[in-house]
Amino acid sequence: MQTNRGSIIGASLWMILVGGLLLWVPFLGPFLGGIVGGRHAGSVGRALLSVLCAVALVGGAGWLLGTAVTSWPLVAAIAGLGASALVVAHAGPLVLGGIIGGLTSRRQR
């Protein structure tokens, strides 16, 4: 019997998209993004890996944009780390939503 497993990158992109669109809702936005991404991932383990990829991708993008905006390396590093800290602060609800989404997924074995 063949299982239909979801894409980790696709699940990460869903988490980023839904979490970004609902950014104005502090806890609920990343939580719903985690549920959608976790369901797309197909299992709890794949959902947690998707959360890790999403946090690394958005944190890295924030750091790169902070570096590109200013020509002062120290200010750029502080701005990038500040953006990364905001991403990590949203990681808790994202992980919780990813676990719930992975548990409720129809793609489980």
CB-CB contact of 19 with 29 (8 Å):
yes
CB-CB contact of 34 with 20 (8 Å):
no
pLDDT at 15: 93
Residue pLDDT, tens place only, 71-91: 777 887 787 777 777 877 888
pTM of model > 0.85: no
CB-CB contact of 106 with 41 (8 Å):
no
In a 13 Å sphere around the CA of 77, the CA atoms on its Cβ side amount to 3
Residue pLDDT, tens place only, 21-66: 998 888 899 999 999 999 999 899 999 999 999 988 887 887 777 7
